[in-house]
Structure 1
Amino acid sequence: MLIGRVLGPTEVEVDGAVADLGGPLPRRLVTALLAAEGRPVAEDALAEAVWGTGPPANPGNSLQAYVSRLRRTLGRSALIRAGEGYRLVVDDTDAARFAADVRRGRELLGDERPGEALRRFETALARWRGEAYADLPDTYARTALAELRAVAEEERLAARLATGDAPGAAGELEAAVRAEPYRERRWELLITALYRGGRQAEALAALRRVRSRLADDLGIDPGPALQELEGRLLAQDPGLLLPSRPAPAVRPLSHFFGRAGELAALAELTAHARLVTLVGPGGAGKTRLAIEHAASLGPWFVRLADVREAALVPAAVAAAIGVRGATTTAIATALGERPGLLLLDNCEHVVAAVADLALELLTRCPGLRVLATSRESLAVDGERLLPVTPLPTADAIALLTDRISAVRPGWRPAPAESATLTRLAEALDGIPLALELAAARARVLSLAELLDMLHDRFPALGPVPRGALAPHETLEAAVAWSVDLLGASDRAMLLRLWPYEGGFPLSAVEDDLDALSALVARSVVVADTTVTPTRYRLLEIVRAYCRQRDPDPAGSREQHAAWVRILVEHHAPLLRGDRSAHSIRVLNRELPNLRTAIRHDLEQHPATALRTAGLLEWFWFRGGLVADGLPLLHAALAAAPDAPPTDRARAHLSACMLRYMSGDPLAPDELYAGFEILGDHPDHDGEILAAQGAYYESLYWSFRGDFPRAVAPARRSMAMSTAIGEEWILPAATMSLGAALAGSGEVDEGRRVLARAGAEATALRQGWTAAMSGLLLARALLTASPARPQEAPPSEAATPARQQEAPPSEAATPARPQETPTEAATPARPGEALTVVREALALFDSEDDVGNVLACLHTGAYAMALTGRVDEAARLLVSVRRAAARRGLDLDGADPIRAAGLAELIPPAAFPDTADDEADLPALLSVARANADNTSISAHRGAETGNN
């Protein structure tokens, strides 16, 4: 991209870097071409611009030499031959940007937005670095730009005056009229500034000065504008005072959406409180809400966004209510005891001055009520706050749809666009200003393109339309306004918070409550106090702003990743103990942060990423987070082949569990890969992993239906746990043995061992192992074993000893034939299984183990089908399978025995149409939370127990 700079020594910026033009003569050539603004310039004219009246013998050849060198610097497509001369093509120039800034500033001033106009004029004038086209001896373009610069300076002073800063503007205008005493516009502004500042005598003296200067030096009278001003000054026209901002007596032109609750709350508050402040982030719609409430009340509306200094707040209020004296006393005297509503809009940058003014006016004017909008409270006694939060998704979609329809006549979202519309509303956090600007862009972009604009950068959504109530021209300006009001340390903290996904707790900022409270108070961080611990987050538009302006983004990402590592190291060991439910909930809340930090470490610290992902093995498993955990584990194993052996082995064992849950038949490969690593490195952590891995192996073969193969690993786990002094592993190892025995035909023994495992786990407060023991016990209760022959002991009558000891008469008696003993059949007990599975379900739910909640429901569906409730079982099964599939789980593959049984028990016709079945995980979880006997499983518990 090429940018030409001519408001000073000529420069050309190529892709952000200033190019070396090669000395004064080629720079004059470039300057002459830039002055032509893209039009061709003949060689003769270029030679005159470069050499003046003394060109070389062959200027054409010299020009060609300069052009060749410049093409190598600027690119061939930038400097092209055109007829008998050359043309320079650039993307933009500082002169064009300056002119555009001046034009926009004048528009803003005409729209009575002087604060924004002032900033735009200041931006325009800051582009000047010296004299325009300084490298050319003479050019008309310089004269035109110099005139526009003078106009811009005058308009800047007019904007400053319009913001209410009459004293400051007067000082600058005195210097301006001394510099150019014949520009009557400057005298008009100076006289007006003096009059508005209460210096009427000086204003009249200035009028006499300009009359005298024009008459003495030029022999002319003042122009019409100055003559009209003189008449108004002598008549003390009140219109010379700062005009008030438009009051919202007329409702805004656009439709207002949502906010029914806030409007009701605001009506209730203002009925009893005399000072109410609407607080919330920039762009959330505080001004619009205040106007919707007050439109019928005819308030005095004071737009403070344009007031740059705290000392000017009384003057702005005085102008709004038509009081000539710009003091609090004059305002209070004018208001007296009459009732009225004073609406103070955008107070955050002058909050102390507004608070002092409001307190004094409310004390002295008993009929007055004040409604303020601000990004922080006024902190005045008796103040009532009403937070204005972003719109809910439904209202945000309605607003988007309405505004897009306004720029696309006849448009209604197609089915394919509805989902994109929802994502767009969510991506913009329901911030009305962002939604309005996005809708305006929808005139030239599709919804998908708009959504894509929001990824990883601040949304370039364009300017606010004319007549809008927003005090800032762009969304970025609205966010910058909030950030710039922060102190240096608070701003530094805010800019470091963008890597946090889905929010963060206080510990993420090293428990710096004071700094975080300051950010919350100023509405740049949102605090959710309805949860414990309080959850903090940045709105997405604030995150995007901070990401762009963070001076050390790599450091911020590293700080975030370090916090996640500490979090995981603390909570991972707790996942098997009595605090496992708490740790699962903490990690579930931080799942977006876990993903982000591990991905960061995959790039920067692969071995660390492997350790973190492996330590989360039980979190991935218990949450059924196959789609999250498995890719991260595999990526970390590939990226860190030289990581510590125990970390690699743990990652393989974790991947085994997740691959099994996904129905992958190659899951044992991961298990045995982990065992192979552990065999070479028998440290204590490795011994613990080996003992755990042994019962993982046992459970795997049991779940695959190869129960005899599952017995030995379970016994090995029990022996290893005892040998290494880690008896806390024993309940899980015992549980795996019970499952293996029950499946191997020793059903009664298996049930007894599983019950013992559950009791041991409960005694050790291992809630998850107790729940899993219950699930496996329920499956054992659903397992029946047929009667089978029992091996008979040797006949006592046949032994020689017995024959010698027997009396003669008995010995002579022929022995009776022996009956073959049989082991009694063990029946399935589905009613009892329903009771047990419901208890396991509640335990898994309390442990936040979604995957095994679904596994319990899958087993419960089988139990229900065995009791004859086929239709109910089919409905439950469809919902469970759909919820599991969304999490990457294959419940049928994980429990093939029950799956085969369900296939036999439930005919295809019993399954409902999945298109009509909207049950999802929250509905299924309600089964676990319900205590009444009317849930999908528990409704049948009592009846089925009775039937069996």
Structure 2
Amino acid sequence: MLEPIAATPPPKSVYLQVLGPVRVLVGDEDVSIGGPVPRALLSRLAIAAGESVSDGALIDDLWGADPPPSAKVTLQGYVARIRRALDPHRPGARSRVLTRRGNGYALEPDATDWQQFTALARAGRTHLVDGNAASAAETLDAALDHWRGDAYVDVTDSEAVSVEAQRLDALRLDAVEDRTEAALALGEYGSAAAQLDAFTRRHPLRERSWELLARAHYLAGRPGEALDALRRARDTLADELGTDPRPSLLALQAAILDHDVALTPAPTAPAAAQPPTPPPTPPAAPDPFAHNIPLALSPLVGRATQLTELATLIRTHRLVTLTGAGGMGKTRLALEAARSRRDTDGPWLVELAGARDGAQVTDAVATALGLTVAGGVESLAVVLRERELLLVLDNCEQVVDPVADVVTTILTRCPSVRILATSREALLAAGEFVYEVPPLTDGEDVQLFVERAAAQLGAFEPDAEERALLDRLCTELDGMPLAIELAAAQCRTLSVRQLIANIDDRFSVLRGGSRTNARHTTMLAAVEWSYRSLTPGEQHLFQSLAIFEGGFDLDAATAVVDHPTLLADLASLVDKSLISVVGGDPRRYRMLETLRGYAALIRDRSHTAELRERHTRWICELADGAHYGLRGPLSTRWMRRLDLEIGNVRAALDANLHDHETYLRIAGGVYWYWYRAGHVAEALSYLDPALQQHDAPAMSDIPSPIRVRAVSGVTLIRYLAGDMVGLLEAFGRLAELHAHAADPVARTEAALILAFFEAGSGLVEQARAHATSALDFARRAEQPFTEAEALMCLGTADFRAGAYDDAARNLGAATRVAAEYGYGWCEASTLWIDAKADLAQDKWGGPAEDKLIRMVAVCESNDDVTSWLVAVATLAYAAFRRGDHDSAAELTGVVAKQGALIGYHPHAMDPVDLARYDRELRAGIPSDRLEAGLSRGAALSRDRVTIRVPDAPARSA
């Protein structure tokens, strides 16, 4: 008979005590964790309160800057030992108390004494504020009962644990003071005075305790001793810190001298009844002049969203750092946020532009607060210990490390102090929330320009044309408030149009700022201030990365920039707000145009030439990859990549206008992107030179594949634009290239374009010949994308010849091959031609619309804009033919509106079919229904249209 398997006993509760020597109770048993290092490890995890702490952070905390080679293995050994002690019935990774999370560990005991203490202390203070002194006393007694000595008293070597111990000890002193205040509210004046007398001797720099002691003596009928307590407080603060007491202590002295009735307790209740708890003395209203925040000299424009966000952040985080490039308005935003605060003892502005070390930072804070403090930041923290205020530390970027040290000391000792810092890089202090100040957008940038220009001109009311120019100008200025204000300052001299014309020389134009701020008198000074803070390596990388236009990712930077410490220096430039992180995966980065302009201004010519050569090489490789990538299963990824890199493509084309081979290699590689995205005007502006220089002597040396691609691009884009005259010219050039091209790939690519247009124009036999030769090559070379295109051209020729059965066979094969390979454009285009063949045979209301609906879905998944519009335009005609005039008019309105946004009109591209469809539809729908439907369609977004299109056939019922 088999023995029953013993069940695992239920886990015992784990209780962690740190308010005294570190101790762990598992059930009722006091378990041993081990020596100093395991106790420090357990303590460090306890501080994280259930959050994961990485292996690296734990190793740094336990062994400092010189960990042993086996630190990670040793750490794992200590973790295993602690797990066995805490969770003996769930050994190893199965522990429910000490778990592995990501690259670190998390400790989650059932209870900790420090969390119980802090919760009770917080509740006790709430009772006190609410006037319930008896509940406050009971709750605070329960909180203080958790203490068995100084926090973490036997874990002394860990800096992180030491800082946490100081925080907990400070909370303990707060709770003791709250308990004595509750005693005063309960009428226990004598005992409270005795406790406070001893407490002030042990903690002579706690001003609140001196005030409580003075109140206790006064309420006990000893006003002389009350005044003596206040005198001793003043003397102690002067001797120890060299500073005056806080205003509330002085106010209490005046109230005692005046026998202020507000200090008199409520009448004593009869003996049989419990004495009512006297209401707490309401705090004095904040002195409106108890700060040094300067008055605003001009109205703040916009920033309502940021001010709301900042108010919430300051409430929930004790350290908030505003970062951003110079001139982005960090200081102005911080001051505006500070003005809305109602702190009892603040807020205070501390200007750090001239500070160079920690002592100067401390002195700047003390000077701003009107304090004279001897003993450095430790003494300053003692003075601020009981004050409720916001410190605005402005321009921290020159002294980031000292500021981080000062901030950490203040925040760990002063629970009612909050800090709002401005810096071009984060402080990297514990508990910091970094808020990157964004540019002005959504019309706020234009509004700022108008208001500042009006101040210069006396009045400025731009008309619609000027507002459009201002929108462009503010975009060129990156929405940067300082740049916009400096541009507005030039309005007496230059018009808006002149400002735009001279924006390339922005550092000559953007000047005339406040004489009281040397860094903001010109845009050049603001940027130079940031640039000078960089190391030589960072300066070199800053100049190099400015070669990118429209942004870049890490792979692009690696390809173009020769920099051995690229990743480290890039991270530093991001931290210092000279490079912005745009987002995405992989991450993209961007440099403001103003910063790019400065980099170009100071960059050596030879450095610029080297960068431009490497940038061009990178773009050429990108264009080569795009030519084939856009014709396969990764086409969507390539479309999105080119969306991101098109600014760099334009820059490379502009830089290589006279290098014909390089220029045509790039333009011929990306024309398919322009075609599918509907960027007709841009494509023509870059591709037309390929045709204009076709007969130039220099062109004859360019390899035929490059020339064929460029002229193919011209031909297709002119077709897209509906330029029939230009199309015929390009078609003729392409036919010449096809006839003389020795390269089989070039001949095949030219043959496909020729076949496409020959089939469309009714030259059926020529189309079949060119398509068949392309199909033969595709099957020999195993190129499915070429095979799909060739079959589509054969099917198109069959359709034009009226051979609908042959058309269905070839188009069906083309659709299948394109779909299997993932060539979305060809699949969509073949479905369109097949649907047109159905419409030509009066097969609407089913087959045609089914294919067009599938076409819409393919276009959506491939980010294909032009084919999407073609599909919707054809669906409109199908709906019209089956009598659904409302849907037909609505879809036509969609095409008109969405096409106008990119300058593309499908019926101009296809004068044979789509133009006829559009004429028939508009003539056949009553004018009132047509106009109503067009209006509805124009109001639809593209996303909503995509959702509605699949319902089209159902609307015929």
Under a length normalisation based on structure 2, what TM-score does the superposition of the two structures give? 0.64
Q: Is the 8 A contact 2:892 2:937 kept in 1?
A: no
State the Cα distance separating 1:413 from its structure 2 match.
1.7
Maintained 8 Å contact 1:650/1:674: no
Q: What residue number does 1:680 align with?
A: 740
Aligned match of 2:301: 257
Contact 1:705 1:897 in 2 (8 A): no
Alpha-carbon distance in 2 for matches of 1:414, 1:728: 52
- The one-letter amino acid paired with 1:582 is R
CA gap of 1:894–1:875, structure 2 versus 1, over 3 A, is same
Residue 400 of structure 2 corresponds to which residue in structure 1? 351
- The letter for the 1-side match of 2:430 is D
Instruction: Give the CA deviation at 1:260.
Output: 2.6
Q: Is the 8 A contact 2:669 2:709 kept in 1?
A: yes
2:349, 2:426 → 1: CA distance? 19
Distance in 2 between the 1:674 and 1:253 partners? 66
3-state SS of paired residue (1:307): coil
Structure 1 position 882, deviation (Å): 5.3
Correspondences of 1:578-597 after superposition (within 5 Å):
578-597=633-652
Residue 487 of structure 1 corresponds to 535
Q: Which amino acid in structure 1 is aligned with residue 650 of structure 2?
A: R
Between the aligned partners of 1:246 and 1:253, the Cα distance in structure 2 is 20
> Do 2:515 and 2:521's aligned partners in 1 also have CA atoms closer than 8 Å?
no
Contact between 1:652 and 1:673, CA under 8 Å: does it hold in 2? yes
Cα shift at 1:303: 0.8
Quick one: structure 1 residues 595 and 771, their matched pair in 2 at CA, closer, same or farther if it must change by over 3 Å? same
Task: Give the match for residue 658 of structure 1.
Answer: 717
Distance in 1 (CA, whole Å) between partners of 2:290 and 2:600 is 37
Q: Which residue of 2 aligns with 1:925?
A: 942
Distance 1:344 1:916, change over 3 A: farther
Change (3 A) 1:918 1:252: farther
Counterpart amino acid of 1:906? R
Is 2:580 the partner of 1:526?
yes
Counterpart-to-counterpart distance in 1, 2:929 and 2:467:
30
Q: 1:736: which partner in 2?
A: 793
Q: Does 1:548 align with 2:601?
A: yes
Question: In the alignment, does 2:888 pair up with 1:891?
Answer: no
Would you say the 8 A contact 2:330–2:437 is kept in 1?
A: yes
Of 712, 715, 732, the match for 2:772: 715
Q: For residues 333 and 479 of structure 1, what CA distance do their matches in structure 2 show? A: 39
Matched, 1:861 2:869: no
Q: How does 1:793-832 map to 2 (within 5 A)?
A: 827-832=842-847
* 2:676 counterpart residue number: 622
1:577 partner SS: coil
Corresponding position: 1:517 with 2:534: no
- Paired AA for residue 527 in structure 1: V
- Runs of 5+ consecutive residues of structure 2 not aligned to the other structure: 1-241, 245-288, 560-565
Match of 1:577 among 611, 632, 636: 632
Higher mean alpha-carbon deviation, 300-309 vs 340-349, is at: 300-309
After superposition, what is the alpha-carbon deviation per residue over 1:36-77, rounded to whole angstroms, capped at 9, x for unaligned? xxxxxxxxxxxxxxxxxxxxxxxxxxxxxxxxxxxxxxxxxx
Give the structure 1 partner of residue 832 of structure 2. Answer: 775
Match of 1:805 in 2: none
- Which residue pairs with 1:538 in the alignment? 591
Return the letter of the residue paired with 1:538. M
Residue 440 of structure 2 is aligned with which of 391, 409, 426? 391
1:495 and 1:546 in contact (8 A); partners too: yes
Corresponding position of 2:525: 477
Give the structure 1 partner of residue 278 of structure 2.
none
**Alignment correspondent of 2:950:** 938
| Partner SS for 1:465 | coil
* Structure 2 CA distance for partners of 1:263 and 1:728, relative to 1, 3 Å: closer
SS of equivalent residue, structure 1 residue 543: helix
Instruction: Give 2:587's aligned amino acid.
Output: T
- Displacement after TM superposition at 1:273 (Å): 2.2
Q: Which residue of 1 aligns with 2:748?
A: 691
Q: Please state how far the C-alpha of 1:238 moved relative to its aligned partner.
A: 11
Q: What is the Cα deviation at residue 618 of structure 1?
A: 2.2
The alpha-carbon deviation at position 372 of structure 1 amounts to 0.8
Report Cα offsets for 1:197-237 as digits up to 9, x if no partner.
xxxxxxxxxxxxxxxxxxxxxxxxxxxxxxxxxxxxxxxx9
Alpha-carbon offset, residue 364 of structure 1: 3.0
Q: Distance in 2 between matches of 1:433 and 1:681?
A: 57
1:842 corresponds to 2:857: yes
Q: 2:283 matched to 1:271?
A: no
Q: Which residue of 2 aligns with 1:558?
A: 613
Q: CA deviation digits over 1:559-579, x for unaligned, max 9?
A: 322221222223322111111
**Quick one: distance in 2 between partners of 1:356 and 1:399?**
37
Distance 1:878 1:280 in 2: 44
Aligned counterpart for 2:497 among listed residues 448, 460, 477: 448
Match of 1:199 in 2: none
Counterparts in 2 of 1:393 and 1:547: CA distance versus 1, 3 Å: farther
Residue in structure 2 matching 1:364, options 413, 424, 433: 413
Q: Does 1:905 align with 2:891?
A: no
Alignment of 1:501 onto 2:555: no
Q: Does 1:460 align with 2:509?
A: yes
Q: 1:748 to 1:911 in 2, by over 3 A?
A: farther
- CA separation of 1:374 and 1:913: change in aligned 2, threshold 3 A: farther
- The count of residues paired between Structure 1 and Structure 2 equals 650
- Residue type matched to 1:577 in 2? G
- Equivalent residue of 2:736, what SS? helix
Structure 2 CA distance for partners of 1:843 and 1:378, relative to 1, 3 Å: same
**C-alpha contact 2:844 2:882 (8 A) present in aligned 1:** no
Is contact 2:845–2:878 with CA below 8 Å preserved after alignment? yes
Structure 2 residue identity aligned to 1:546? A
Task: From the superposition, tell whether residues 277 and 723 of structure 1 become closer, same or farther in structure 2 (CA, over 3 Å).
Answer: closer
Query: C-alpha separation between the residues in 2 aligned to 1:420 and 1:390?
Result: 18
Q: Distance in 2 between matches of 1:396 and 1:284?
A: 12
Q: Secondary structure at the match of 2:531?
A: helix
The answer for the alignment partner of 1:431 in structure 2 is 480
Contact 2:731 2:754 in 1 (8 A): yes
Aligned counterpart, 1:643 = 702
- CA-based RMSD: 3.0
SS at the partner of 1:782?
Answer: helix
Equivalent position of 1:75 in the other structure: none
- Displacement of 1:919 in angstroms is 7.0
The question of whether the paired residues in 1 share the 8 Å contact of 2:838 and 2:847 is answered with: yes
Distance change (3 Å), C-alpha of 1:363 and 1:901: closer
In the TM superposition, 1:106-145 aligns within 5 A as none
2:532 and 2:822 map into 1 onto residues whose CA distance is 52
Structure with larger Rg: 1
State the distance in 1 between where 2:294 and 2:934 align: 48
Measured against aligned partners, the alpha-carbon deviations of 1:299-331 in whole angstroms (never above 9, x if no partner) come to 221111233556522222221112224632342
CA change 1:273–1:626 in 2 (3 A) is: closer
Partner residue in 1 for 2:152: none
Measured against aligned partners, the alpha-carbon deviations of 1:6-62 in whole angstroms (never above 9, x if no partner) come to xxxxxxxxxxxxxxxxxxxxxxxxxxxxxxxxxxxxxxxxxxxxxxxxxxxxxxxxx
After TM superposition, give the deviation of residue 361 of structure 1 in Å: 1.9
Letter in 1 for 2:878: A
- Aligned AA for 2:511? G
Q: SS where residue 906 of structure 1 aligns? A: helix
AA at the equivalent of 1:315? D
CA contact (8 A) 2:391 2:418 kept: yes
Structure 2 vs 1, CA of residues 617 and 547 (structure 1 numbering), >3 Å: closer, same or farther? same
Which ranges in structure 1 are unaligned for 5 or more consecutive residues? 1-236, 240-244, 785-826
Task: Work out whether residues 878 and 911 of structure 1, in 8 Å CA contact, stay in contact via their aligned partners in 2.
Answer: no
Does the Cα contact within 8 Å between 1:845 and 1:928 map onto a contact in 2?
no
Aligned partner letter, 1:892: H
